[in-house]
Amino acid sequence: MKGGLIGKSGQSTLELLVAIAVITLTMSAVISVSFGNQSISVDTQLSTSAVLKARELAEIAKANARTNFSGLSSSSSNDGAYLLETVVETLSNYEKKVTSRVSWQTDPLRSQKIEFTTIVTDWITLLNEGGGGGLTGQWNNPQTAGQIDLGPGNQGNDLVIKDKTVFVAASASSSAKDDFYSIDVTNINSPVKLASINTGEGLKSFALMGNYVYAAQNDGVSQLQIVNVTNPSGPSLVTSATMQGNSNDGLSVFALDNYAYIGSESSSGAEFQIFDVTDPENPIFKGSKEIGADVNDIYVFRNRAYLATSKSDAEIIILDISNPAAPAQIGKFDGTGGAGFSVFVNGFNTFFAGIGDNFIIFDSVNLNSIVAKGSFNANGSVNDLYIRDYLAFLATSNSNSEFQAVNVTNETSPVLHSSFNFSQVGTGIIYKDNVVYISVRSNDALRIVTSQ
């Protein structure tokens, strides 16, 4: 009997030990699973938070692109366990690739990251400039396409393009001659004159907005002329406006977002004036700014007007025009070597201008201290310019190369890329779809150039 009891007792002890072992293993498994679930939970929380942060970075970048496209650049910062990065790559003047990346480590051996990539486009500038497609072909060996003669004694002063029609501003020895020309450039090798009209004393500068061309007239009254070009074969002068308190000739014009900006020769009145042209046939004076010099060119970018002037201590003037009734100066550049003749802007941080014989690239991040980043001597006044991709196209008075293409890939050291010799001074220049159109101070008032 004792032996039986001992056997049962030993068996019970063994069963107890087995039970304890099973319980221990089970508890270890539970603990292990519990810790595993906690790790998964932590990873999920970190990943979810990272996704939200990456999305926020992308939205911030897109918002910044809308307000200051040229200023959009790479950046990084730390947020607790996360490294936040915005990586910006420039694809063209109007496009940037933005990668929003959030990275972290769950333990020393496991690095994690979330990233979103998007392409942002500066549609406002692209549409305002109307340049169409980018550069293609060999611009180091360009070719002349067509040209057109406006007749004896008539010269080209400026031009704009709408669809397949170029409108040329002209002036002649007689005010009785036509000064507004429509040219069909569907075939760039053989442009065709569609129509011409006489608006008055001759036209100096053009701007296009919608179905209207806004012109600066060589006259002390009705300096702003407005021409309806809905039908390019039948342009019609619909109205004009006289600058307030200013009886000097109109020199420059720009049109954007239902406003026309006109500049004149130096006058006792304000040389820069703004008109509301919401109704193009009824322009309304809104505001003005006394410059004290010729306003040779105007370029409006967002809420700023950039003026190229003959002012000896301010060849370039920048105005805040957010309130059209009271434009205010917010920056200027005092250069040497001549008057400001031309200006082109495609961002708040950088702009381009022709001052005397020099084409200059400016750093305008600090409006209190605008500095020249780089320059190129065109050996002739830079009367007009247009920037597209890696090239700056110049219309100059250089007697051997009135048309010049300058490579601006290195903004601190722009270099001549190619050039052409015309019969007379280049006065205006415009670009569209890999073709450059130049107005010339001669009978052959329109010259067309494209890549080889």
**CA 135 to CA 151: how far, in whole Å?**
32
> How much is the pLDDT for 14?
54
Q: What percent of the chain has pLDDT over 90?
A: 71
**Separation between Cα atoms, residue 429 and residue 210, nearest integer Å:** 20
Helix (H) or strand (E) holding 20: helix 2-67
- The CA-atom distances, in angstroms, between 153 and each of 150, 215, 286, 416 are 8, 20, 37, 32
What CATH number should be reported for the domain whose range is 125-450?
Answer: 2.130.10.10
Question: In which element (H, E) is residue 129 found?
Answer: helix 123-129
Closest by Cα among 334, 421, 354 to 394? 354
- Taking the C-alpha atoms of residue 384 and residue 394, their distance in angstroms, rounded to an integer, is 6
Count of C-beta atoms within a 10 Å radius of residue 81: 12
Q: In 257-349, where do the E strands start and end?
A: 259-264, 272-276, 284-289, 295-301, 304-309, 316-320, 328-333, 340-345
Q: What are the beta bridge partners of residue 252?
A: 263
Q: What is the pLDDT of residue 1?
A: 41
pTM for the full predicted model: 0.81
* Residue whose C-alpha is closest to residue 347's, from 65, 21, 13: 65
pLDDT at 44: 80
For residue 47, the model assigns a pLDDT of 84
pLDDT at residue 199, as a whole number:
95
At 4 the pLDDT is 46
CB-side neighbour CA atoms (13 Å) of 26 = 6
In this predicted structure, what is the pLDDT of residue 193?
96
Q: What residues of the chain score a pLDDT lower than 50?
A: 1-9, 25-37
